[in-house]
Amino acid sequence: MLAHRPPGRRNRCCRKALGFHGRNWFSAGTAVLTPNRFVQRTGRDAVFEKEDRCVLKIANFLFCFSHPVLVLRFIFRMGHFPNILVPGNLAEKYLWRKVFDRNPMFVKLSDKIRFKEHISATLPGIKFAKVMWRGNNIDEAIEAALHRSGYLKINNASGANLNLAEEGGDEAQVRRRARRWLRRKYDRYHGEWAYKNIVPELLIEEDVSLGGLERVVDLNLYVFGDCVPCFHAILKNKRPDMQAGMFDRHGRNLDTRFLQACFRMFPPAYELKAPSRPLPADFVLPVDVEHLCELAVKVAQGHDHLRVDFMWNGRDLYLCEVTVYSIAGYLRYTKREILDVMADCWDLRKSWFLTAPQAGWRKRYADWLRNRLEASRTDIVRP
């Protein structure tokens, strides 16, 4: 048994299940150097013998037990029990990121104000919507928002937008919205850790749509290292008549739709619905796809995965935000093979958790997982 034990019942249970007493299951020798305990196959995964798989299942159960809300939400959204320790599909990798990958840069990138300062310093040619006002005083926010075009937002959340041209004239609604945004803890519901350490601040962004939302196209690119396997093109984003489609890096329509889990209480029913309609048959991408992908890779440089969101207003391309947990990590499409391609492109060996120094049991787990990924990783043919 190790001489040093971190305090807390949860840590003791995890250490016991992970084999930190007697035999160390997270040593390099277990995963790579001992041939009678590890069998490698030609596919993208490795096959463990029965005893190793049992230990992993117990350890995975304990980690899931230590994050019950996250796991229950995962099961509800994805329909299966997650494997946190050795993530395989895309949703499990997002869950792994929430539990283990606490990259300090995620906090800066998730902040709608600080990320602009960071990107402007590294890529000065990129355009952003100008921040016309910022602060956390609700009365000042109302005074700045009334009778002004633009968008009222909060810097530590996703989807918190108020169109001032359409709804800004209602002072009671602006006050109610601002008070709720400042009070809510956005990291708790889906375990999106990066939002936790952002100091909440309201902001008003200018409207760069040139007065015509019909011609605005939102472009959400999924970047994995230097690879962009696919991206969304969205018309009338976050509106009841929203239209969306997915394209590959060559601009070909993949003919798939995003699915959202819906639960109805009376009568009880669980179903998957598409929250948007498909794009028109004559839709043409308004930008050079190759240049768009190159720009997204530059924005996400140094990270294993980010979603980079742009907006085309008919004249200029603007960078809107960088997303660490896309759709809170619950991505589902009518074509499942798209998720498999995205999961294959996501190389966890480039994550902060597996490249930065760790301590204690996290270091042992990181070494074990890194060795397993090195042994099982094959050359992925990029789409």
- ∠ CA(134), CA(136), CA(139), 5° rounding? 95
C-alpha 43/C-alpha 65 separation (Å) is: 30
The tokens 């005083």 sit on which residue? 137
Q: What is the DSSP string of 356-374?
A: S---HHHHHHHHHHHHHHH
Q: What ranges make up the beta strands (E) of the chain?
A: 38-40, 46-48, 131-135, 151-154, 161-163, 202-205, 217-224, 227-235, 243-248, 260-264, 269-273, 277-278, 306-312, 317-323
- pLDDT the model gives residue 56: 81
Would you state the pLDDT for residue 172? Answer: 84
Those residues with Cβ within 8 angstroms of residue 329's Cβ, 6 or more apart along the chain or in another chain: 91, 94, 95, 97, 98, 190
* pLDDT of 157: 83
pLDDT at 217: 93
Spatial distance between the Cα atoms of 29 and 202, rounded to a whole number of angstroms: 52
- pLDDT per residue as tens, the chain (383 positions): 334 444 444 444 443 333 333 333 333 333 332 233 333 333 434 444 555 677 788 888 888 888 898 998 898 888 889 999 999 899 999 999 999 999 999 999 999 999 999 999 999 889 999 998 999 888 888 888 776 788 899 998 877 888 887 776 678 888 888 898 888 888 777 888 898 889 999 999 988 887 666 779 999 999 999 999 999 999 988 788 889 999 999 999 998 888 876 655 455 455 566 677 888 888 999 999 999 999 999 999 999 999 999 999 988 999 999 999 998 899 988 888 999 999 999 999 999 999 999 999 899 999 999 988 888 764 444 44
What is the torsional sign of CA 364, 367, 369, 375? Answer: negative
Distance CA 380, CA 17 (A): 33
For the chain, give every domain's residue range: 9-103+351-376, 104-205, 213-341
Look at residue 320 in the predicted model and tell me its pLDDT: 93
Q: Which CATH architecture has domain 213-341?
A: 2-Layer Sandwich (3.30)
Q: Pull the structure tokens for residue 104.
A: 């300090």
